[in-house]
Structure 1
Amino acid sequence: MASTEIIVCTTCRPPGASRELPAEGLALFEAVQDALLLCGLDTGEHQGLQLRGLACMSGCGRACTVTLQAQGKFTYYFGDLAGDAETAAQVIACAQLHHQSPDGNLARNARPERLRSGILARLPPVGQEAA
């Protein structure tokens, strides 16, 4: 089964946020990274998940943004997220659902609360026939 990659925009800032303060996207990336390490990425609890930071995912008006993607699965792009530990935990929980789903489909009611809204895109797997 392909790994689910969690991509967090590290330069995201809510509209009007000062550029002199650290980016909230970086805070979210670090919170996800810390949660993965704390909860046992090395012990296999989060096996099948990978984390990557990316400078700018062009969701600036909807900061903070996160993408979940895996080979052969739907890709999800979320915005309007907070850069805190609770959001990080919910991003990881949603990534686990994505990893366990055969096609990456994430039913709205099955997603953790903070990822039920703020969806910016749901993209089909590369090469999938249109329905």
Structure 2
Amino acid sequence: MSEVAKPPAELLVCVKCRRAGEAPDDDVRPGTLLLEALNSSDISANITVKGVECLSNCTRGCSIALRGEGRWSYVYGNLDPNSASVVLDGSARYQSTADGLVPWRERPEHFRKNCIARIPPLES
């Protein structure tokens, strides 16, 4: 029996995030650097990476969100430009589920400790 393909997922990366005093207004923001690192990585074709202007989580450093049709959505914070590998790992685990619910112990440690929000899927 063949495995059923999982629907695509979106990885949203805030490009405006910075903690107070972290980067002057005219400097490249840490989220932009994280986005660049992710875009130059070997990410699954079933995960679309997008930069977004704000996830409204500024005090928690770089933030990302994972979402997909029919799936729970998550927002994670306290990331930095060097967090690409943990984001790639967590995103792949998320994309491999049908409902977005990765068992807590199977999530990367950073995701376990830095989940900002878990949002239920839209009901049809």
TM > 0.5 between the two? yes
Aligned positions, number: 118
| Partner of residue 95, structure 1 | 91
| Partner of residue 66, structure 1 | 64
In the alignment, which of 13, 24, 28 is matched to residue 22 of structure 1? Answer: 28
Q: Is 1:79 the equivalent of 2:77? A: yes
Contact 1:14–1:24 under 8 Å retained in 2: no
* Deviation sequence 1:97-125 (CA, Å, 0-9, x none): 11111211022221112222111100011
Q: TM-score, normalised by structure 1?
A: 0.83
Q: TM-score, normalised by structure 2?
A: 0.87
SS in 2 for 1:89: helix
User: Structure 1: any 5+ residue segments left out of the alignment?
Assistant: none
- What is the aligned-residue identity percentage? 28
SS in 2 for 1:90: helix
* Deviation sequence 1:6-52 (CA, Å, 0-9, x none): 000011112222223210010111111111xxx2x5xxxx1311100
Q: CA RMSD in A?
A: 1.4
Higher strand share: 2
Contact 2:17–2:61 under 8 Å retained in 1: yes
User: Structure 2: any 5+ residue segments left out of the alignment?
Assistant: 1-5
